[in-house]
Structure 1
Amino acid sequence: MPENIPESPEAITTIISSWQKVSWEEIGIAIGIILIFLVFRKILTKYLYKLILRFSRKAPTDVITNILLAFEKPIRVFFVIIGFYVAYLYLPFPDAYDDIMGRLFRTFIITQFAWGLYNLSSTTSEIFMKVGKRFDIEFDDILMPFISKLVRFAIIAMSLSIIASEWDYDVSGFVAGLGLGGLAFALAAQDSIGNFFGGVVIITEKPFTLGDWISTPTVEGTVEDITFRSTKIRTFAQALVTVPNSTLANQAITNWSQMGKRQITFNLGITYTTPKEKIERCVQRIDDMLRNHDEIHQELIMVRFNAFNSSSLDIFLYFFTKTTQWEEFLRVREDINLRIMGILEEEAVSVAFPSRSIYMEKAEMDKMSTSVDAAKDNSSL
């Protein structure tokens, strides 16, 4: 604990007696000192600070502007703290309280500085971008919040440690205590630690980013958020699924948003009565239509008379759309289907449907005919 601080109740008695020795004139001057600092703070933040910001925005980089904006509110509070501290120094308090007031003043200064650094380490900070370019690190929508949270946690931890040291607390003993309980904590929090490192793997390897459409053996949907513990995925049924990072990091992840093109493949079945020449013309016309379509990727297009099916002659189609967006993909696929229908109509070719033909021998037909005639004669009698 801090030394040279009077203990209660003697401390309270000393403070009361000290206040009794303070004249109204001295109190008025102390209040005036506080008001002067408040007025100076007003002038600085309203006029001088805005002028500095205006000049900083003309600089080739936004780093200086971000620093000034991050420390704007801490500086406002800083002038209030200085005003009260100077007012205290003016008042005739015992020297025994100078130490504790000095500690309080330094604690407030450390707090304001940590506040400014905390604001500076936000996800919108230009500092991360500059550091990323300097060390060739690419920050995306997942990595930026992750790094920001780590930096902010470090700022808070360091600030608390410095403040504790300022008040003569043994920080090393506290850290040693954490080390003794580290093993028990690790055993009790295996799942949480696994989720944390799973999040680190996801962020560093970047199998997906925010807004990507992904599918795993357990869930499929759009990634909405990733935290230290879990990843939130919005399914196509608009349900929000929260998946632990340790589970997600150990699963096969298909990122459909990374498709450069989107596949369309199907078999077009036509009737067995279609002449060979018409099949050839349909295959050629469909192939030409796809190769001249602006929204079809031209790298690979396959249209072939493929198989003799049980109830149809199959034409195999295999090609890709340029767009990967679901709505646009459906529109292009609909356009292709309508054009294929138009070609079949122009060539007088019918689409086959599941059917079965029954062939009977002539003798069997004669027997059936005789049976029918006999039945008619009996009914007439």
Structure 2
Amino acid sequence: MDKIEVWRLLDLGIAIGIFLLFLLFRRLFVRFLFTFLMKRLARMELAARVLEAFEKPLRGLFVLLGAYLAILYYVPAHWTPLLVVHKLFRSGMILLIGGGLYNLSAVSSVFMEGALKRFGGDDSSMLIPFLSKAVRFVVIVIAVTAVISEWGFNINGVVAGMGLGSLALALAAKDTLGNILGGVIIILEKPFSKGDWILTPSTEGVVEDITFRSSKIRTFADALVTVPNSTLADQPITNWSRMGRRRITFTLNVALDTDAERLTMAIDRIERYLMDNEEIDDETIMVRFNEFKESSLGIMLYYFTKTTAWKDHLTVRQETQLAMLQILKEEGVQLALPMQRIVVGGESGEARHEGNPERG
């Protein structure tokens, strides 16, 4: 073995040593330095999030840099394929930086939370996931474009081709684009948020998720309905979760022969009871005798419960109606019974019978 071969083997050993040294640095970085920096930056939330987002790209950087320096040391400077190595190294750096920015735009990112506050959103808003996906898409496009440019391709031609391709895609997928625009409208205008109970002409239930294309609604029959965003954006939406109070209205029918004084006393007592009830909103309470019917007198009741939860609302409604029955009983006012009028015609005249059909 001549001296040249010995020196080449020695250079190869040193190159391998350089690469292994960077692998060792990578392990030391992960085990010690990264953990140390995370502890020191625990109080600085922004810096900690940035470092956490770039953890994996930094690991890859040690591998990429070690392989690059090892190759540069081993191969001669005039080696023609070295140009390809340089391009591969620069492309790898672009992808690592893009990967860090991609991770930084995650849902939990401080930048996304700041954007949410500027838009006036809350924790249940779907604006953060939407912005996160949009930023990730932009990062991917920029990274891919930079890599293509690094390899000498004409970006103008690529952009022009993408423009024509986008036009064809838009024509072929206009419904999908309409759904995406509908999702943008829903997220920006915020007619509902995740977890809200909504009613639309097509469905009713609790919103579980909002994506680019559609919204998922869990109905009260426990079925999951997927509604295109373009459909929701064009429909009237009732958001029951944003009620400040919940209405109760019905007509209480009492006997047709009820004494006017007893009826007035019962109405006044029911109204006072509702005014004094802590579960009832006292801003709008109406108890009025407002209707003569064929076989009864109608008392209209119109009031609101303070709670909007359906179960609690039903409990309050039951308690108030039982109290009304007791008041009517104490005042001697009877509920209306079904009445039927029968007209019998005969040769000697007409006989009429009116009363409760149960009495015969």
**1:196-275 superposed matches below 5 A:** 196-275=180-259
Asked if structure 2 preserves the Cα contact closer than 8 Å seen for 1:161 and 1:171, the reply is yes
Cα displacement string for residues 149-181 of structure 1 (whole angstroms, at most 9, x for unaligned residues)? 110000000000001111111221111112234
Asked if structure 1 preserves the Cα contact closer than 8 Å seen for 2:98 and 2:143, the reply is yes
* Structure-2 residue corresponding to 1:82: 65
Q: 1:195 aligns with which of 169, 179, 189?
A: 179
Cα displacement string for residues 67-99 of structure 1 (whole angstroms, at most 9, x for unaligned residues)? 111111111121121122222122135621221
**1:1-381 superposed matches below 5 A:** 23-59=8-44, 62-93=45-76, 95-133=79-117, 136-140=118-122, 141-356=125-340
Please tell me whether Structure 1 or Structure 2 has the larger radius of gyration of its CA atoms: 1
Give the Cα–Cα distance (whole angstroms) in 1 for the partners of residues 286 and 233 of structure 2: 37
Give the Cα–Cα distance (whole angstroms) in 2 for the partners of residues 88 and 244 of structure 1: 54
TM-score norm. by structure 1 comes to 0.83
Asked if structure 2 preserves the Cα contact closer than 8 Å seen for 1:262 and 1:321, the reply is yes
Question: Percent of counterpart pairs with the same letter?
Answer: 47
Cα displacement string for residues 267-319 of structure 1 (whole angstroms, at most 9, x for unaligned residues)? 11111233222212211111111111111111110011121212221111000
Cα displacement string for residues 100-142 of structure 1 (whole angstroms, at most 9, x for unaligned residues)? 1111111111111111111110111111223455xx3224521
Asked if structure 1 preserves the Cα contact closer than 8 Å seen for 2:343 and 2:350, the reply is no
Structure 1 residues 22 and 297: alpha-carbon distance in aligned structure 2, compared to 1, 3 A threshold: farther
Structure 1 residues 336 and 248: alpha-carbon distance in aligned structure 2, compared to 1, 3 A threshold: same
- Tell me which amino acid in the other structure corresponds to 1:70: A
- Tell me which amino acid in the other structure corresponds to 1:254: T
Which residues of structure 2 form unaligned runs of 5+?
A: 352-360
Deviation at 1:210, TM superposition (A): 1.2
Deviation at 1:24, TM superposition (A): 4.1
Q: Say which SS state the counterpart of residue 81 (structure 1) adopts.
A: helix
Give the Cα–Cα distance (whole angstroms) in 2 for the partners of residues 22 and 245 of structure 1: 68
Structure 1 residues 278 and 160: alpha-carbon distance in aligned structure 2, compared to 1, 3 A threshold: same
Structure 1 residues 154 and 261: alpha-carbon distance in aligned structure 2, compared to 1, 3 A threshold: same
Give the Cα–Cα distance (whole angstroms) in 1 for the partners of residues 142 and 6 of structure 2: 41
Asked if structure 2 preserves the Cα contact closer than 8 Å seen for 1:296 and 1:319, the reply is yes
Give the Cα–Cα distance (whole angstroms) in 2 for the partners of residues 26 and 158 of structure 1: 38
* Structure-2 residue corresponding to 1:379: none
Structure 1 residues 325 and 22: alpha-carbon distance in aligned structure 2, compared to 1, 3 A threshold: farther
Structure 1 residues 181 and 115: alpha-carbon distance in aligned structure 2, compared to 1, 3 A threshold: closer
Give the Cα–Cα distance (whole angstroms) in 1 for the partners of residues 70 and 160 of structure 2: 41
Give the Cα–Cα distance (whole angstroms) in 2 for the partners of residues 147 and 38 of structure 1: 36
Q: Say which SS state the counterpart of residue 287 (structure 1) adopts.
A: helix
Q: Say which SS state the counterpart of residue 96 (structure 1) adopts.
A: coil
Structure 1 residues 21 and 205: alpha-carbon distance in aligned structure 2, compared to 1, 3 A threshold: farther
Give the Cα–Cα distance (whole angstroms) in 2 for the partners of residues 176 and 144 of structure 1: 32
Q: Say which SS state the counterpart of residue 70 (structure 2) adopts.
A: helix
Deviates more, 1:177-186 or 1:250-259: 177-186
Deviates more, 1:317-326 or 1:208-217: 208-217
Give the Cα–Cα distance (whole angstroms) in 1 for the partners of residues 105 and 184 of structure 2: 19
- Tell me which amino acid in the other structure corresponds to 2:72: L
Give the Cα–Cα distance (whole angstroms) in 1 for the partners of residues 37 and 112 of structure 2: 23
Asked if structure 2 preserves the Cα contact closer than 8 Å seen for 1:212 and 1:222, the reply is yes
CA RMSD of aligned residues (A): 2.3
How many residues are paired up? 342
TM-score norm. by structure 2 comes to 0.88
Q: Say which SS state the counterpart of residue 278 (structure 2) adopts.
A: coil
Give the Cα–Cα distance (whole angstroms) in 1 for the partners of residues 105 and 92 of structure 2: 20
Asked if structure 2 preserves the Cα contact closer than 8 Å seen for 1:103 and 1:166, the reply is yes
- Tell me which amino acid in the other structure corresponds to 1:68: L
- Tell me which amino acid in the other structure corresponds to 1:292: D
* Structure-2 residue corresponding to 1:375: none
Deviation at 1:143, TM superposition (A): 1.3
Q: Say which SS state the counterpart of residue 80 (structure 2) adopts.
A: helix
Asked if structure 1 preserves the Cα contact closer than 8 Å seen for 2:255 and 2:295, the reply is yes
